[in-house]
Amino acid sequence: MVTKSRRSALLMLVEERLLKNKTEEEEKQAQLSYIHKDCISNILARLPADSLHRSRFVCKPWYNVVQNPKFIDAHLQRSESVLIFLKPNVKESLHPISKKLKLGENESSYPYPMTSTLQENRNTVPVESKLLDPNNVPMFGHPALTSPKSSVQFMEFKNGGSDIVEYSLSCLGNNIRATCNGLILLDNKLKKGGVIVLNPVTKKVTDLPVGTLCHQESYGFAMSHVTAEYKVVHLFLDRLGFAGCEILSLHKKAWRGVNGPSFGLFSNHRFGYAPVSAIGALHWMPHLKGSNYIVSMEVDKETFHQIPLPKSCGFHDRIIEIGGSLGLVTHEDINHIDIWILKDLFGEGWTKQHSITVDTKTDMVPLCSLRIKGDIIFCRMKGNSLYAFDFQQQQMTEIGKVNSSVKYLPHVNSLVTWVQASEDIFD
């Protein structure tokens, strides 16, 4: 038996350790208090979004800094562009490929590569699990928890190359509809015709009510600079080619109809490529080949306009966001790629800003422009090689490979949210 004196000694030892821990914590807090809040904010703003998300739990002052909306916006402005995509699960890639889709096409589904080697990480979390009521999950689990189709990943560009990074997230869907400031729209396979809003860094997720069901549709995602609300724009075509439009604000989460684009702007009963957000509007290039105009919707006024292009576009020409403006990348001839810039919907019009000389690579498709460095990332369709054009060095450099069966969209890793910071975080 333990003697009374032994119990007293053990009790004293425990008390000493608790006191020591308390003293060390107070000293740590005192050291942090010597660092000015603005200095802490400036240091934290330079961290990658995933590291920053974990760092908020170091101490209460850091948590308050990281959760501040002004800090989140400042961090967003410092963050570099990446390409986000869904990598298919090997179990879903065994069926034959029936077709190959071009990068950026706005289709509802994409075929899986024959050689996918995705290994599910033990820490990978199914996105749909946040949407399920735990009280109604069957005894043997739910398909959303047991049979994910895709892994959410991104490609970053640094040190003259490209790297693939995982978010430790999986999902049942196989299509990212749109992106905006670190938020993405995913197909919701738990609801027919539904979509999910997700921040893959913070893992916050919410499902949206089902809108108009249709066969041909396109989703746009943008933030209003007047009201600071995020809007999801849903375009859809009927069999006669009439385009309808409905818009949902993430603050209210209810669809409302608005006047759509004029009849005939979207021909061939499809919407072409995924829309691009720039200069306060969403922009569609309505034809896969031969477009001589774009269809633009002002995010604030929610009105559509037809904007002429400086030249008719070929199959490998695209519109992309470049430094806050709308860019048009066209292939002038076999050796030249021209870059046109539109700074305002109703301003001076398009101006040719750059002309790139290339080595007979006429199939170079632009994927995105890097927000900080300014390089344009291209994919050469023949061989699926990835290139970066450095405007300062006037040099095109091969930096990696892409998968022709995967849809890549411009993205930025951020802590942006559409809800209050006090709400649950899905880790």
Q: Where are the beta strands (DSSP E) in 290-363?
A: 293-298, 304-308, 318-322, 325-333, 336-342, 351-357
CB-CB contact of 337 with 329 (8 Å): yes
- pLDDT one-digit tens code per residue, 261-297: 998 888 766 787 889 999 999 999 988 888 899 999 9
7 three-class SS: helix
**pTM of the predicted structure, to 2 decimals:** 0.80
Q: How far apart are CA 66 and CA 115, in angstroms?
A: 41
17 or 42: which carries more pLDDT confidence? Answer: 17
- Three-state secondary structure call for residue 54: helix
Pairing outcome for strands 125-126 and 161-171: parallel
Residues 51 and 86 in one domain: no
pLDDT at 37: 61
33 and 175 part of one domain: no
- The answer to whether the beta carbons of residues 103 and 365 sit under 8 Å apart is yes
3 state SS of 409: strand
CB 164 within 8 A of CB 155: yes
Confidence of residue 335 (pLDDT cuts 50, 70, 90): confident
Give tens-digit pLDDT for 102-126: 344 443 333 333 333 334 456 788 8
Q: What is the mean pLDDT of residues 29-45?
A: 61
Residues 69 and 95 in one domain: no
| Shared domain check, 378 and 251 | yes
Residue 71 contacts residue 56 (beta carbons within 8 Å):
no
Residue 16 lies in a domain: no
More confident residue, 138 or 293: 293
Number of domains making up the chain: 2
**Token pair belonging to 152:** 């959410």
Q: Last residue of some domain: 63, 78, 93?
A: 78
Q: Output the six-digit token pair for 369.
A: 């422009």
With bands split at pLDDT 50, 70 and 90, how would you rate the model's confidence at 422?
very low
Q: Say which CATH number the domain at 211 has.
A: 2.120.10.80
pLDDT of 29 over the 80 cut: no
Owning domain of residue 35: 29-78
Determine the Cα angle at 307 with ends 305 and 312, to 5°: 145
